[in-house]
Amino acid sequence: MGFTWRIMGLAMTIAMLLALPSCTNIREVETSKMETVYIAEDQAVNVVSETPEVVEFTRHITGKSILQIEELPSLDDPVYTIRVAEDRGDHLVHYSIFRVDAFTGEILQN
C-alpha cells in the first residue's frame, strides 16, 4: 500500500509541474502596432533634387551638386535630413538643408 501512495504522489507532482507553468497573471491585450514604413532614401533625395531652389542652384554652380542624407528617420523624429552642397574638388560648399517627412515625402519648413 505504501508503494501505491508513492506512485500516486509522484503522478500528482508531475501533473502539478506540468499544469502550473501555463498559469500566469499576465493578461494578453491586443495593441495596435505602430507602422514604421518610410519612403525610400532615394525618394527623399529625389524630392529635394526636384525643388525649384535646388534646380536653380545646380544650374548656376561650376562644380557638381551633392545631395547627402545627414540623418535617417527614427521613431522619435521620422524625418530625413538632406544636405545640398557644391563639390569643388578639395572642399564642399554648403547650400542648404532640407527636412523630408519620412511617411509622406513632403518637404518640411525649417
How sure is the predictor about 49, in pLDDT bands with cuts at 50, 70 and 90?
very high
C-alpha cell at 100: 523630408
The CATH class given to the 41-108 domain equals alpha beta
Bridge partners (DSSP) of residue 96 are: 84
How sure is the predictor about 11, in pLDDT bands with cuts at 50, 70 and 90?
confident
Q: What is the CA radius of gyration of the chain?
A: 31
Tell me, letter by letter, the H, E, C secondary structure of 2-27.
Answer: HHHHHHHHHHHHHHHHHHHHHCCCCC
Separation of CA 84 from chain center: 23
Q: What does pTM read for this prediction?
A: 0.66
Query: Which residue type is seen at 38?
Result: Y
Condensed to tens digits (0 to 9), the pLDDT of residues 27-44 reads 666 666 666 789 999 999
Bridge partners (DSSP) of residue 97 are: 83
